[in-house]
């Protein structure tokens, strides 16, 4: 069994992918070829915003977004510690200080009720992460942000395709940033990402930043990056976008089926109390794309070993909260994040992709039951 099966998807779209890639090989515009603009238009429409700016990775999407908001040295950006390193890393790389606010134990996303206490005169933005494919509580976050005149950047690297109160992830804040890393819900065949915004000025800034700060050829009003989306990756994504809505539906359905099967064995969802296995709770406001299907168990490393012996691959997202990472060594009193700390010791992600069969899911659930005291 595979943790993420990209081959099953390729078998379905091989003809379209090859045709799209061959078109690029024939026209030869490998940098900013016509597929990039075509993809940006389709992605903007899909999300429901005015602008999509394709970039070279999810990490560069975050970097470009923070740069476009002119955040840097001496500034603070509030974010979650329970995320992939890139979220805090790009804030710090630009000289700003990531301020880590603890998560909600039910959804694993930043707790909006704890935001206000973390805001200071130096705060320049709030950067929630829509973890595991479920959007953060963006309206609650936005309400706090608006009171303090702060922009919100959604790190939507894991939630492309998800929705929140009927609106799509990436279109829920000033800037939405996503990743098309191959293993993400919408994945290229290499690195790729995008920024989304309704703000014309920010879109212009983002377009300049991804291309060395250039507004016209060899004229540079600002600093930027070599952060463009490769034409060949745009071609792959265009082929994959045709089947993506169906895959989103499958992900949501398969995630729900995992929960149903596990809860039938005695697991309980994170909103429902204690049990040897806790399953993810998707808030009724949300449709999750289950970038990861992640459960909590008591003896995580032993469970991972047992699952592996039973032929079920697993992974840990993420074992160390960012504020405990050596690179940040924040550890300031008053900035402890006990919920993140506890959950980072307990989470384990199970195989998840849109081509999981019911048989595979039953095998995983049997293995989880055997590896835990369910």
Ligand X SMILES: *Cc1c(COP(=O)(O)O)cnc(C)c1O
Distance, CA of 224 to CA of 60 (rounded, Å): 11
Token pair belonging to 145: 């942000």
- Classified as helix, coil or strand, 339 is helix
Q: How far apart are the C-alpha atoms of 132 and 283, rounded to whole Å?
A: 13
110-149: contacts with ligand X (CB under 6 A)? 129
Q: Select the residue whose beta carbon is closest to ligand X and give its number.
A: 58
Task: Confirm or reject binding of residue 187 to ligand X (CB under 6 A).
Answer: no
Q: Which of 76, 142, 155, 208 binds ligand X (CB under 6 A)?
A: 155
- Separation in Å, CA 82 to CA 109, 137, 324: 8, 15, 10
How many residues belong to the site for ligand X (CB under 6 A)?
Answer: 15
**Rounded distance between C-alpha atoms, residue 51 and residue 371, angstroms:** 47
Q: In the complex, what is the shortest distance from the CB of residue 66 to ligand X, in angstroms, rounded to a whole number?
A: 12
Please report the beta strands in 114-265, taking only residues with DSSP state E, as ranges in sequence order: 123-127, 153-155, 163-164, 167-168, 175-179, 193-197
86 binds ligand X (CB under 6 A): yes
Q: Is 89 a residue that touches ligand X (CB under 6 A)? A: no
Tell me whether residue 359 is exposed, middle or buried, using C-beta atoms within 10 angstroms of its C-beta: 0 to 12, 13 to 18, 19 or more.
exposed
Report if residue 88 touches ligand X, rule: CB under 6 A. no
- Which residue from 31, 36, 27, 94 is spatially nearest to 60, judged by alpha carbons? 94
d(Cα 53, Cα 340) in Å, to the nearest integer? 32
Does the protein bind ligand X through residue 181 (CB under 6 A)? Answer: yes
Provide, rounded to whole angstroms, the least separation between the CB of residue 49 and ligand X: 19
179 touching ligand X, by CB under 6 A: yes
Query: Considering the rule CB under 6 A, would residue 191 count as an interface residue with ligand X?
Result: yes
Among 83, 134, 286, 340, binds ligand X (CB under 6 A): 83
Q: Which is nearer to ligand X, 157 or 367 (CB)?
A: 157
225, two tokens = 């990056």
Q: Does 58 bind ligand X (CB under 6 A)?
A: yes
Q: Which is nearer to ligand X, 85 or 310 (CB)?
A: 85
Of 142, 145, 143, 134, give the one whose Cα is nearest residue 106. 134
Q: How far apart are CA 81 and CA 106, in angstroms?
A: 16
Residue pair 196/207 in contact (Cβ under 8 Å)? The answer is: no
**Between residues 129 and 350, which has the closer beta carbon with respect to ligand X?**
129
Our finding on whether 87 is near ligand X (CB under 6 A) is yes
What are the structure tokens assigned to 90, written together? 């790009």
Contacts of 247 (CB under 8 A, 6+ apart): 9, 161, 185, 354
Give 206 or 277: the residue with its C-beta nearer to ligand X.
206
Instruction: Work out how close the CB of 350 gets to ligand X at its nearest, in angstroms, rounded to a whole number.
Output: 17
Instruction: Please report whether residue 57 would count as binding ligand X according to CB under 6 A.
Output: yes
In the bound state with ligand X, the residue whose beta carbon lies nearer, of 118 and 131, is: 131
68-76, 81-89, 276-284, 341-349 -> range binding ligand X (CB under 6 A) = 81-89
Closer residue to ligand X in complex, CB, 9/372: 9
Angstrom distance (rounded) from CA 122 to CA 73: 10
Question: Which range in 10-18, 57-65, 67-75, 221-229 contacts ligand X by CB under 6 A?
Answer: 57-65
| Sequence-separated (6 or more) residues with CB below 8 Å from residue 367 | 306, 307, 310, 311, 312
Comparison of 225 and 374: residue with beta carbon closer to ligand X: 225
Output the smallest distance, CB 129 to ligand X, in A.
5
Is residue 193 near ligand X by the rule CB under 6 A? yes
| Residue 182 · residue 195 · CB < 8 Å | no
Q: Which is nearer to ligand X, 136 or 312 (CB)?
A: 136
Q: Cβ of residue 43: shortest distance to ligand X, in angstroms? A: 15
Residue 147: strand pairing partners: none
Interface with ligand X (CB under 6 A): 57-59, 83-84, 86-87, 129, 155, 157-158, 179, 181, 191, 193
């Amino acid at each position: 069994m595979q943790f993420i099966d990209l081959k099953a998807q390729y078998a379905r779209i091989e003809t379209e992918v090859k045709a799209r890639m061959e078109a690029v090989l024939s026209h030869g515009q490998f940098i900013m070829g016509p597929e990039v603009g075509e993809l940006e238009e389709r992605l903007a429409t899909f999300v429901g915003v005015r602008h999509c700016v394709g970039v070279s990775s999810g990490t560069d999407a975050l970097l470009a977004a923070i740069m476009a908001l002119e955040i840097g040295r001496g500034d603070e950006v509030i974010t979650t510690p329970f995320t992939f390193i890139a979220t805090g890393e790009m804030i710090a790389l630009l000289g700003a200080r990531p301020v880590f606010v603890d998560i909600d134990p039910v959804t694993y996303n930043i707790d909006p009720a704890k935001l206000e206490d973390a805001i200071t005169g130096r705060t320049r933005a709030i950067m929630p992460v829509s973890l595991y494919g479920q959007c953060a509580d963006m309206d609650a976050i936005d309400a706090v942000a608006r009171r303090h005149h702060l922009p919100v950047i959604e790190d939507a690297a894991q939630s492309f395709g998800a929705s929140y109160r009927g609106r799509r992830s990436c279109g829920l804040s000033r800037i939405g940033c996503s990743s098309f890393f191959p293993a993400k819900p919408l994945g290229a065949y290499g690195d790729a990402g995008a920024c989304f915004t309704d703000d014309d000025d920010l879109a212009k800034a983002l377009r300049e930043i991804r291309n060395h700060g250039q507004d016209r050829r060899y004229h540079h009003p600002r600093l930027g990056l070599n952060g463009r989306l490769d034409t060949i990756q745009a071609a792959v994504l265009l082929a994959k976008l045709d089947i993506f809505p169906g895959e989103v539906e499958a992900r949501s359905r398969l995630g729900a089926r995992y929960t149903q099967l596990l809860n039938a064995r005695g697991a309980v969802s994170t909103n429902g109390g204690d049990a040897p296995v806790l399953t993810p709770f998707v808030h009724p406001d949300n449709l999750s794309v289950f970038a990861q299907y992640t459960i909590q168990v008591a003896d995580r490393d032993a469970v991972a070993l047992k699952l592996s012996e039973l032929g079920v691959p697993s992974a840990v997202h993420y074992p160390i909260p960012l504020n405990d990472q050596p690179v940040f060594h924040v550890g300031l009193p008053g900035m402890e994040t006990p919920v993140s700390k506890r959950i980072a010791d307990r989470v384990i992600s199970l195989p998840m992709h849109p081509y999981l069969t019911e048989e595979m899911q039953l095998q995983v659930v049997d293995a989880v039951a055997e590896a835990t005291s369910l």
